[in-house]
Amino acid sequence: MSWIDVGALDDIPLRGARIVKTKAGCVALFRTDEAEVFATSNTCAHKNGPLAEGIVHGKQVTCPLHNWVYSLETGEAQGADEGHIATYPVKLEAGRILLDAASIEARSAA
């Protein structure tokens, strides 16, 4: 994997999110714990709600528009709703957030 540094962990508030722009739309980075970050598509499978604006709880996010809940680990919508968002490899190193360039490019090509 080829990792790209996209910013500092502390630029995301605890239980908050920020987005990274890519050619094929935005990737959302969620900080679920002091040292835990997930990367997913920012776009809700329901009506394209911007997921980074949702409330982050446990390892889940609730869409800001109509409250669909997604697992940030699997990208699956929870409960009765059916839908899926893409998830991407992400890792933390010395307080920095690294995204995998290959998966991001694969996303752009798709």
Q: What is the binding site for another protein (CB under 8 A)? A: 4, 6-7, 11-16, 18-23, 26, 29, 32-38, 47-50, 53-59, 62, 64-65, 67, 69, 73-74, 90, 92, 97, 99, 101, 104-105, 108
**Hey, CA dihedral for 13, 5, 97, 17, is it positive or negative?**
positive
Binding at 16: pick from ligand FES, another protein, none (beta carbon under 5-8 Å per type): another protein
Contact between 104 and ligand FES per CB under 6 A? no
Taking CB within 5 to 8 Å according to partner kind, which of another protein, ligand FES, none is near residue 68? ligand FES
CB neighbour list of residue 65: distance below 8 Å, 6 or more residues apart: 44, 46, 47, 49
Residue 85: both structure tokens together: 């968002």
- Pairing label, strands 69-71, 3-8: unpaired
